[in-house]
Amino acid sequence: MAISETVLLKGAGAATERKENPLGIQSFFSAEQFERIAELMYPKRAEAGSYLFWEGEPTGKLYYIRSGKVKLRKSTEDGKDFILSILQAGDMICEPEDGMRAVHSFSAEVMENADIGVVQWKDLEILLYRHGDFAVRFMNWMALMHRVTESKFRDLLLYGKPGALASTLIRMANTYGVMGADGIRISLKLTNAELAEFIGTTRESVNRMLNGLKEEGTIDIRKGRIVILDLKALKGMCHCPACPACPKEVCRI
Protein backbone atom coordinates (compact mmCIF):
# COMPACT_ATOMS: atom_id res chain seq x y z
CA MET A 1 0.00 0.00 0.00
CA ALA A 2 3.00 2.27 0.29
CA ILE A 3 3.06 5.00 -2.38
CA SER A 4 5.88 7.50 -2.77
CA GLU A 5 4.65 9.64 -5.63
CA THR A 6 4.25 13.40 -5.24
CA VAL A 7 0.68 14.68 -5.34
CA LEU A 8 -1.05 18.04 -5.59
CA LEU A 9 -3.75 19.12 -3.19
CA LYS A 10 -6.08 21.84 -4.39
CA GLY A 11 -7.91 24.01 -1.94
CA ALA A 12 -9.15 27.60 -2.01
CA GLY A 13 -7.26 28.41 -5.19
CA ALA A 14 -3.71 27.42 -4.30
CA ALA A 15 -2.10 24.05 -4.95
CA THR A 16 0.16 22.48 -2.33
CA GLU A 17 2.73 19.84 -3.19
CA ARG A 18 3.58 17.12 -0.70
CA LYS A 19 4.80 13.55 -0.42
CA GLU A 20 2.07 11.05 0.27
CA ASN A 21 1.93 9.34 3.64
CA PRO A 22 1.65 5.60 2.79
CA LEU A 23 -0.47 5.11 5.92
CA GLY A 24 -2.72 8.09 5.14
CA ILE A 25 -6.19 8.30 3.69
CA GLN A 26 -5.03 9.02 0.15
CA SER A 27 -3.65 5.51 -0.27
CA PHE A 28 -7.28 4.31 -0.33
CA PHE A 29 -8.22 6.37 -3.39
CA SER A 30 -7.21 6.79 -6.98
CA ALA A 31 -5.88 10.23 -7.92
CA GLU A 32 -9.23 11.07 -9.52
CA GLN A 33 -11.21 9.97 -6.47
CA PHE A 34 -9.07 11.92 -4.04
CA GLU A 35 -9.32 14.98 -6.26
CA ARG A 36 -13.06 15.02 -5.56
CA ILE A 37 -12.59 15.45 -1.84
CA ALA A 38 -9.60 17.78 -2.27
CA GLU A 39 -11.82 20.18 -4.21
CA LEU A 40 -14.14 20.43 -1.20
CA MET A 41 -11.37 21.53 1.19
CA TYR A 42 -10.85 25.06 2.38
CA PRO A 43 -7.55 25.96 4.04
CA LYS A 44 -6.98 26.50 7.74
CA ARG A 45 -3.70 27.42 9.43
CA ALA A 46 -3.30 26.10 12.97
CA GLU A 47 -0.48 27.09 15.32
CA ALA A 48 1.26 24.71 17.70
CA GLY A 49 -0.56 24.51 21.02
CA SER A 50 -3.94 25.44 19.56
CA TYR A 51 -6.92 23.11 19.19
CA LEU A 52 -8.86 22.24 16.06
CA PHE A 53 -11.78 21.35 18.31
CA TRP A 54 -12.48 20.39 21.90
CA GLU A 55 -14.20 17.33 23.29
CA GLY A 56 -17.92 18.09 23.55
CA GLU A 57 -17.99 20.62 20.70
CA PRO A 58 -20.35 20.02 17.75
CA THR A 59 -19.15 17.79 14.93
CA GLY A 60 -19.83 18.48 11.26
CA LYS A 61 -16.33 18.91 9.79
CA LEU A 62 -13.48 16.69 8.65
CA TYR A 63 -9.86 17.81 8.96
CA TYR A 64 -7.23 16.71 6.46
CA ILE A 65 -3.67 17.30 7.67
CA ARG A 66 -1.56 18.74 4.85
CA SER A 67 1.44 19.41 7.09
CA GLY A 68 2.23 19.26 10.79
CA LYS A 69 1.10 16.87 13.52
CA VAL A 70 -2.11 16.68 15.54
CA LYS A 71 -2.61 14.85 18.83
CA LEU A 72 -6.01 13.36 19.64
CA ARG A 73 -6.81 13.52 23.37
CA LYS A 74 -9.54 11.97 25.50
CA SER A 75 -10.34 13.21 29.01
CA THR A 76 -12.09 11.26 31.76
CA GLU A 77 -14.47 12.56 34.38
CA ASP A 78 -11.80 12.23 37.09
CA GLY A 79 -9.42 14.49 35.17
CA LYS A 80 -7.15 11.94 33.51
CA ASP A 81 -5.96 12.50 29.94
CA PHE A 82 -5.34 9.79 27.36
CA ILE A 83 -3.61 10.23 24.01
CA LEU A 84 -5.56 8.29 21.40
CA SER A 85 -3.33 8.98 18.41
CA ILE A 86 -0.76 11.32 16.87
CA LEU A 87 -1.62 12.07 13.25
CA GLN A 88 0.65 13.46 10.55
CA ALA A 89 0.48 14.84 7.03
CA GLY A 90 -1.82 12.69 4.92
CA ASP A 91 -4.11 11.69 7.79
CA MET A 92 -7.69 12.80 8.21
CA ILE A 93 -9.70 13.40 11.39
CA CYS A 94 -13.25 12.23 10.92
CA GLU A 95 -15.94 11.84 13.56
CA PRO A 96 -19.24 11.82 11.66
CA GLU A 97 -22.64 12.34 13.21
CA ASP A 98 -24.23 8.99 13.98
CA GLY A 99 -27.81 10.09 14.51
CA MET A 100 -27.55 9.80 18.30
CA ARG A 101 -24.94 12.40 19.21
CA ALA A 102 -23.40 15.26 17.30
CA VAL A 103 -20.45 16.25 19.50
CA HIS A 104 -16.80 15.28 19.47
CA SER A 105 -15.77 12.50 21.87
CA PHE A 106 -12.15 13.71 21.93
CA SER A 107 -10.07 16.87 21.42
CA ALA A 108 -7.57 17.59 18.62
CA GLU A 109 -4.45 19.44 19.81
CA VAL A 110 -1.98 20.81 17.26
CA MET A 111 1.55 19.67 18.16
CA GLU A 112 3.39 21.72 15.54
CA ASN A 113 2.30 24.41 13.09
CA ALA A 114 -0.09 22.75 10.68
CA ASP A 115 -1.84 23.39 7.38
CA ILE A 116 -5.29 21.83 7.42
CA GLY A 117 -7.85 21.18 4.72
CA VAL A 118 -11.34 21.45 6.21
CA VAL A 119 -14.32 19.64 4.66
CA GLN A 120 -17.92 20.20 5.68
CA TRP A 121 -19.57 16.86 6.44
CA LYS A 122 -22.71 17.91 4.52
CA ASP A 123 -20.56 18.46 1.39
CA LEU A 124 -18.92 15.06 1.82
CA GLU A 125 -22.34 13.41 2.13
CA ILE A 126 -23.31 14.77 -1.29
CA LEU A 127 -20.08 13.33 -2.70
CA LEU A 128 -20.84 9.94 -1.13
CA TYR A 129 -24.36 9.95 -2.60
CA ARG A 130 -23.16 10.82 -6.11
CA HIS A 131 -20.13 8.55 -6.43
CA GLY A 132 -20.56 4.96 -5.27
CA ASP A 133 -16.93 4.04 -6.00
CA PHE A 134 -15.75 6.87 -3.74
CA ALA A 135 -18.25 5.87 -1.03
CA VAL A 136 -16.93 2.29 -0.96
CA ARG A 137 -13.32 3.44 -0.63
CA PHE A 138 -14.28 5.90 2.11
CA MET A 139 -16.08 3.13 4.01
CA ASN A 140 -12.97 0.94 3.66
CA TRP A 141 -10.87 3.72 5.21
CA MET A 142 -13.29 4.21 8.11
CA ALA A 143 -13.32 0.45 8.75
CA LEU A 144 -9.52 0.48 8.94
CA MET A 145 -9.57 3.36 11.43
CA HIS A 146 -11.95 1.29 13.55
CA ARG A 147 -9.49 -1.63 13.43
CA VAL A 148 -6.65 0.66 14.52
CA THR A 149 -8.61 1.81 17.58
CA GLU A 150 -9.78 -1.70 18.38
CA SER A 151 -6.24 -3.09 18.26
CA LYS A 152 -4.98 -0.41 20.65
CA PHE A 153 -7.63 -1.25 23.23
CA ARG A 154 -6.89 -4.96 22.75
CA ASP A 155 -3.24 -4.49 23.65
CA LEU A 156 -4.03 -2.25 26.60
CA LEU A 157 -6.67 -4.56 28.09
CA LEU A 158 -5.07 -7.95 27.46
CA TYR A 159 -1.36 -7.47 28.12
CA GLY A 160 -1.12 -4.94 30.93
CA LYS A 161 0.99 -1.81 31.07
CA PRO A 162 4.28 -3.42 29.88
CA GLY A 163 2.50 -4.97 26.90
CA ALA A 164 0.73 -1.69 26.15
CA LEU A 165 4.06 0.18 26.25
CA ALA A 166 5.67 -2.39 23.95
CA SER A 167 2.72 -2.09 21.57
CA THR A 168 2.99 1.71 21.62
CA LEU A 169 6.71 1.57 20.78
CA ILE A 170 6.04 -0.83 17.90
CA ARG A 171 3.32 1.44 16.56
CA MET A 172 5.62 4.45 16.84
CA ALA A 173 8.29 2.53 14.92
CA ASN A 174 5.82 1.67 12.14
CA THR A 175 4.63 5.27 11.88
CA TYR A 176 7.72 7.35 12.67
CA GLY A 177 10.58 4.83 12.60
CA VAL A 178 13.77 5.29 10.57
CA MET A 179 15.76 2.11 9.99
CA GLY A 180 19.46 2.38 10.77
CA ALA A 181 22.43 0.05 11.08
CA ASP A 182 21.94 -0.29 14.84
CA GLY A 183 18.16 -0.33 15.07
CA ILE A 184 14.97 1.62 14.41
CA ARG A 185 15.19 5.25 15.45
CA ILE A 186 11.84 6.83 16.27
CA SER A 187 11.92 10.34 14.83
CA LEU A 188 8.94 11.53 16.90
CA LYS A 189 10.14 12.89 20.23
CA LEU A 190 7.76 12.30 23.14
CA THR A 191 8.19 12.86 26.84
CA ASN A 192 7.70 10.00 29.28
CA ALA A 193 4.58 11.79 30.49
CA GLU A 194 3.15 11.65 26.96
CA LEU A 195 4.02 7.96 26.66
CA ALA A 196 2.21 7.44 29.96
CA GLU A 197 -0.90 9.08 28.52
CA PHE A 198 -0.91 6.56 25.68
CA ILE A 199 -1.25 3.62 28.06
CA GLY A 200 -3.09 5.14 31.01
CA THR A 201 -0.33 5.02 33.60
CA THR A 202 2.03 7.40 35.41
CA ARG A 203 5.25 8.97 34.19
CA GLU A 204 7.14 7.18 36.98
CA SER A 205 5.86 3.79 35.79
CA VAL A 206 6.96 4.55 32.23
CA ASN A 207 10.40 5.61 33.53
CA ARG A 208 10.81 2.25 35.29
CA MET A 209 9.63 0.24 32.29
CA LEU A 210 11.88 2.11 29.84
CA ASN A 211 14.88 1.69 32.14
CA GLY A 212 14.10 -2.02 32.34
CA LEU A 213 13.97 -2.28 28.54
CA LYS A 214 17.30 -0.42 28.30
CA GLU A 215 18.95 -2.79 30.77
CA GLU A 216 17.68 -5.77 28.76
CA GLY A 217 19.12 -4.30 25.56
CA THR A 218 15.70 -4.01 23.94
CA ILE A 219 15.85 -0.23 23.43
CA ASP A 220 18.22 2.68 23.83
CA ILE A 221 17.58 6.39 24.23
CA ARG A 222 19.82 8.77 22.31
CA LYS A 223 19.45 12.53 22.36
CA GLY A 224 15.96 12.16 23.76
CA ARG A 225 14.77 9.77 21.06
CA ILE A 226 14.06 6.08 21.42
CA VAL A 227 16.00 3.55 19.34
CA ILE A 228 14.53 0.04 19.16
CA LEU A 229 17.34 -2.51 19.21
CA ASP A 230 15.29 -5.72 19.55
CA LEU A 231 11.90 -5.46 17.85
CA LYS A 232 11.25 -9.17 18.32
CA ALA A 233 11.46 -8.78 22.11
CA LEU A 234 8.87 -5.99 22.05
CA LYS A 235 6.55 -8.10 19.90
CA GLY A 236 6.83 -10.92 22.39
CA MET A 237 5.75 -8.63 25.25
CA CYS A 238 2.44 -7.78 23.59
CA HIS A 239 1.95 -11.08 21.71
CA CYS A 240 2.08 -9.10 18.48
CA PRO A 241 0.23 -11.00 15.72
CA ALA A 242 2.20 -11.62 12.55
CA CYS A 243 1.40 -9.92 9.26
CA PRO A 244 -0.93 -9.99 7.40
CA ALA A 245 -3.15 -10.41 10.47
CA CYS A 246 -1.98 -7.02 11.73
CA PRO A 247 -0.40 -4.98 8.90
CA LYS A 248 1.38 -1.65 9.43
CA GLU A 249 -1.75 0.18 8.29
CA VAL A 250 -3.41 -1.14 11.48
CA CYS A 251 -0.37 -1.26 13.77
CA ARG A 252 0.21 2.51 13.82
CA ILE A 253 0.23 5.14 16.52
Beta bridge partners of 143: none
Give me the pLDDT at residue 250, please. 83
**Do 101 and 185 reside in the same domain of the chain?**
no
Terminus-to-terminus CA distance in the chain, angstroms? 17
Give me the pLDDT at residue 220, please. 95
pLDDT digits (tens, 9 = 90+) for 140-185: 999 989 888 888 888 888 888 999 999 999 999 989 999 988 899 9
**Do 100 and 196 reside in the same domain of the chain?**
no
**Do 53 and 106 reside in the same domain of the chain?**
yes
Q: Minimal CA–CA distance to 65: which of 83, 52, 55?
A: 52
Beta bridge partners of 58: 103
Helix (H, G, I), strand (E, B) or coil at 32: helix
Residue 3 scores a pLDDT above 70: no
Higher pLDDT, 119 or 239: 119
**Do 100 and 30 reside in the same domain of the chain?**
yes
Q: pTM here?
A: 0.84
Q: Minimal CA–CA distance to 240: which of 179, 180, 139, 163?
A: 163
Beta bridge partners of 85: 72
What total of structural domains would you count in the chain? Answer: 2
> For the domain that residue 179 is a member of, what is the CATH number?
1.10.10.10
> How far apart (Å, rounded) are the C-alpha atoms in residues 144 and 167?
18
**Do 190 and 113 reside in the same domain of the chain?**
no
193 inside domain: yes
Q: What is the β-pairing status of strands 61-75 and 92-93?
A: antiparallel
9 inside domain: no
The boundaries of the domain holding residue 233 are 160-238
Give me the pLDDT at residue 224, please. 85
